[in-house]
Structures are given as C-alpha cells and as structure tokens.
Structure 1
Amino acid sequence: MPNLTSLEAFVLAAETGSFSAAARRMRKAQSAVSTAIANLEIDSGVDLFDRAGRNPVLTAHGRALLPYARNVLYGSQEFIAKANTLSEGVEAELCLAVEQSIGMASLLPLLGEFAERFPHVALDLLRPGPNDTAALLSGGRADIGLMIEQEVYPIGFQFRGVGHSKLVPVCAPGHPLAALDTVGHGDLRRHRQLITHSRSRTRPAQIGDRKSAAIWQAESPSLIADLVIAGFGWAELPNSLVAAHLESGALVVMSYLFQQSDLLEGIDVVWTERHALGPAGQWLRDSLLAMPQTAWRDG
C-alpha cells in the first residue's frame, strides 16, 4: 500500500520537474525523495519516471496515475480538515428549513458566507409548506427554521421576528376579476380562491385568509401560481414568487376596495431549546437574526 509521503514525492516531482526541487518543497534530502519514488514504483509495479535524461520525465503510466495520486493526497487533507473541525465542536451537518412562501434570493449571500466559514459542514436545505417547518423542528429533522409567524409555537420553541413577506392578490389577465377596476368581498366570493395549505393534519395552516366559499388548496405556492396563471382561480401569493409573472404579464394584481392589513405576514427565525446548536448553527441563526428587515420584502 503506497504511503502518503511516497505519493507526495511523486506528485511534487511531477509538478516541479526534478527530484531535487521536490525534496526542497518537502524539506527532505534528495536521496529520501528518490527512495520514496522508487518504493512507490515497486509497490505499483510500473515505472513512473523515465530517468534516462538529466531530469526525470513522466512515463505514460506515470501520467495516467498522477491524477489518482493527487486525489488521494487531497482526500487525506480533507480528512484532517474535517477531523479538526469536529474536534473544535463544529457540527458535521446542519439542516435549515425555509418555508416555501419565503424567497431564497435574500438568503443566497448569507449561504455563500456560510460556505466559506464552514466548508466542511454539510448543509441540508428543506422547503416545507405552511406550518410544516414547526413539525420538522419538533421532530429534530431541522435545526433552524425560517417561517411565516404563528400565533402560538410549541413549548420549547424560541423565535424572533426578522421581517415581513408581502402578499399580492393576483389572477390571470383573462380571469373575470382582472376586468374590474376594484375588487370587493362580494366579487372575490363569486370566484374560486387558491390557497397554499399545510400538509399537517394535526396543526393545519394556510397562507392568506379565506375570502371565497369555493376553495382549492395545494402545498406549494409555485403550484398555486401555475393554477392561477391557467385560470383556475385567484390567490394571494408572496411578492417574491409572483414578481416575475407580473413583469411578464402572466399575472395581474387586483386592487381591493377594502383595507387589507393581512397582506403583510411576519417572518420568524425559529429554533428549539431541546436541540443545542453548535458553532455553525449559532452563526447561521445569529446571521439570520441580524439581516435587515428590508431584505425580506422582495426576496
């Protein structure tokens, strides 16, 4: 079995073009490098270098095996880095649940910084429906949640409001409601409303208020948008989701006759006392809490 020193000598000699340069990089005597490469050739059963000239030249076998040697060395470095991370108490993995009605655009810069700070933490991103984030946290499936606020959270939950998601009343351009300059409660009740709804049977939740007697429900806000575009009804959807559809003309905004205070829904960062966050989780939670509230309006 080749050892790491022999593989390092092989790779450095190939990259620098000489055994002496490889020895300087490794801070070893040239004879030690030559011996290490010779032993590697014995172990592998092939000649890695042609030594006929002044400087060693990779053979065809050497060129073929060089990428594999690099991969083994890189893997060993990754192993040490991962072990050091674990010894410092950093989590091996972390799960963040972001409710589907919350846009991801605002989170991308933060996730980029997380990747740089914690390159060896495996991040699991979930996109649950309304209220399903709370269930994922309660069951230990998620470590941190970003969700539309609830009036009541389960015992042991910690939460803090970080902003608001704006709901936009929309319908397709060809829908009867689109022809009205202003829309009242009576107009809405005469047409099917599409509502984003939780899959949970124990604690159902929905986005937006029911304003129509005819209701279709779906777990995914994106599916709701597709149904509205197809003319199946109207809906109140997050601005971050419908902005592109409004720009393209696939959807239009309805103007309500009445004051609609519930078109702004609070966004909470949520975690549980029963699950202690490690350094990576604490950094992610605190960074989410520190984001400006304006970041969530359109993102």
Structure 2
Amino acid sequence: MPNTETLRAFVYAADLGSFSAAARRLGKAHSAVSTAIANLEIDCGVPLFDRSGRSPVLTPQGQALLPHARGVLLGTTEFIAMANSMAEGIETHVSLSVEKGISTEPLMPLLRAFTERFSSVSLEVTTPSSNDSADMLRNGRTDIGLMAEQEGYPIGLQFRGLGYSKLIPVCAPDHALAQNIDASYRDLRRYRQILRHKDPVKGTSQQNEKKSAAVWHVEDPDLIIDFVRAGFGWAELPLSLVKQPIERKELVRLNYAFQQNDLLEGIDLVWTERRALGVAGQWLRDEMLKFPQTTWLEEPF
C-alpha cells in the first residue's frame, strides 16, 4: 500500500521533471526518491516513468494515475488541517442564513476573509423566507441569521441590529400609478398593494406597511416582483431586489409625495443561545457586528 511520502516523491518527480529535483525538494537523497518510485511501480503493477531518455518521462499509466496521487495528498493535507482545527476548538461546519431581500454583496469581503482564516471549515449559506428564518435558527438548521427586523423573536434567540436597507415602492410601467410617480396617499389607496407576508404569530406586525385598502399577501419576494410586473398591484421591496428590474425598465420606481425620507427596513443579526457557536461561528458573528450601520444603505440610482 503506497504511503504519502512515496506518492509525494512521484508527484514531485512528475512536476519537476527529474528524480534529482524531487529529491532536493523533499530533502532526500536521489537514491531514496528513485527507490520510492520503483517500489510504487511494483505496488501499482505498471511503469510510471519511461527512463530511456536523459530525463524520466511519465508513461500513459503514470499520466492517468498522477491526478489520483494528487487527490490522495490533498485529502491528507485537508485531513490534517481539519484535525488541527478540531484540536483548537474550531468546528467543521458553519451555517449562515440570509433572508431573501437582504443583499449579500456587503458580505463578500467578510466571507473571503473567513475562507482564508478557516480554510478547513465548510460554510453553508441559505436564503430562507422571512417566515422561515427564525424557525431555522430555533431548530438548529442554521447557526447565524441575517433577517429583516421583527418586533419580537422566539424565546432562545439573541439579536443585534446591524443597520438598515432601503425599501423602494414600485409598479409596472403600464400601471396607472406609473403615470403619476409622485403618488399621494390617496393615489396609493386606490390600487392593490402586494405585501410581503409575515406571520403575525411570530410577533411581526404589518400595520405600518399597509397603505392600500386592497391587499394581497405574498411570502416570496421574487413572486411579488412577478405579480407587480404583471400589473396586479404595487409593492414596497428592498432595493437589492428591484434595482435590476428598474434598470431594465420592467418596473417603475414611485415617489411618495407625502414622505421625503427614504423608507428603511431594519436588518438584525440573529443567533440561538441554546447552542454555543464554535470558534469560526463566533468570529463570523463578531465581525458582522462590527459592520457600520450604513452597510446596507445602497446608493440610490
């Protein structure tokens, strides 16, 4: 059964083009590398190098086996790295949920730093709806969650406000409201509003969001965009979701004549107190808590 040192000699000799160069890289004698590769050929039952020329050249069998040798060495390296991480108290897996409608763009630099710092930790990212985020945390299906602000959270969840994102009122280009984008409160009440459905049992109220006498409740923000695009009504949605449809002229941005300030929706970082975060999870949570309050306030367009 070939060991890692023998496989490493094979890979280095193939990469560097000679047994002597592989020996120098490994800090071994030329004869040790030559013997190791010869023994590997005996174990495999096929020649790995053609030695008829001045420099050894991989045989077809050697070329076919080389990727597998690399895979074994990579697996060994990952095994050792994960074992070391576990010995240091670093978990093997971290799950992050980012609720639909919250932009992931501000997370990219942080996740890049996470992969460099915790290369052996598997990261799972999910995008649940607003009604599923808290349940996923409470049931242990995710470790950390980014959620639209709620008035209350189930017992056992901890949260901190991270800032705000902008809500943009939109309608279809051929909707009646599009003819008067400086809409009054009376204008809005005349037409159906499509609200993001939130379960009131979980402590979230929609009274402040309701501006129309006629309302549809839809859970999935992407489906709301489809309904608005089809002309079924108007809606207030996160900028991250409607920016591209507006740029493509599939939606029209409305302005409220009765409100001069931007519509803002709070963003909370939520985690469970029933299960302690590992080293990597704590680092990810603590780094997100350092975000400025303006992190998700995208520039208007």
TM-score normalised per structure 2 = 0.91
CA distance in 2, matches of 1:183, 1:260: 12
Aligned to 1:117: 117
CA contact (8 A) 2:9 2:22 kept: yes
CA RMSD for the aligned pairs?
2.2
- Displacement of 1:204 after TM fit? 7.2
CA contact (8 A) 2:245 2:251 kept: yes
CA distance in 2, matches of 1:275, 1:173: 48
CA contact (8 A) 1:196 1:206 kept: no
CA contact (8 A) 1:129 1:197 kept: no
Once the two structures are superposed, residues 185-232 of structure 1 have per-residue CA deviations (whole angstroms, 9 ceiling, x without a partner) of 33223222111124x584275777122232222222122112212211
The amino acid that maps onto 2:154 is: P
Change over 3 Å in CA distance of 1:151–1:14 after alignment to 2: same
Q: What are the equivalent positions in structure 2 for 1:32-47 lying under 5 Å apart?
A: 32-47=32-47
Aligned to 2:202: 203
CA contact (8 A) 1:133 1:147 kept: yes
CA distance in 2, matches of 1:182, 1:59: 75
Once the two structures are superposed, residues 6-61 of structure 1 have per-residue CA deviations (whole angstroms, 9 ceiling, x without a partner) of 21111122222222222222222222222211111111111112223343332222
TM-score normalised per structure 1 = 0.91
Number of aligned residues? 298
Deviates more, 1:138-147 or 1:44-53: 44-53
CA contact (8 A) 1:182 1:254 kept: yes
CA contact (8 A) 2:152 2:202 kept: no
CA distance in 2, matches of 1:247, 1:14: 53
CA contact (8 A) 2:151 2:203 kept: no
CA distance in 2, matches of 1:144, 1:244: 28
Aligned to 1:226: 226
- SS at 2:265's partner residue? strand
Deviates more, 1:173-182 or 1:236-245: 173-182
CA distance in 1, matches of 2:101, 2:16: 54
Deviates more, 1:285-294 or 1:151-160: 151-160
Change over 3 Å in CA distance of 1:181–1:269 after alignment to 2: closer
The amino acid that maps onto 1:232 is: F
Change over 3 Å in CA distance of 1:263–1:201 after alignment to 2: closer
CA distance in 1, matches of 2:147, 2:40: 56
- SS at 2:255's partner residue? coil
1:163 aligns with 2:159: no
- SS at 1:290's partner residue? coil
- SS at 1:187's partner residue? helix
Structure 2: give runs of 5+ residues left out of the alignment.
none
Aligned to 1:191: 191
CA distance in 1, matches of 2:107, 2:9: 44
**After TM superposition, which residue ranges in structure 1, 4 or more long, deviate above 6 angstroms?**
none
CA contact (8 A) 1:48 1:59 kept: yes
Once the two structures are superposed, residues 141-196 of structure 1 have per-residue CA deviations (whole angstroms, 9 ceiling, x without a partner) of 11111111112222232211111111111111211111225323332232221111
Identical aligned pairs, as a percentage? 59
- SS at 1:152's partner residue? coil
Structure 1: give runs of 5+ residues left out of the alignment.
none
Change over 3 Å in CA distance of 1:252–1:206 after alignment to 2: farther
- SS at 2:294's partner residue? helix
Q: What are the equivalent positions in structure 2 for 1:15-30 lying under 5 Å apart?
A: 15-30=15-30
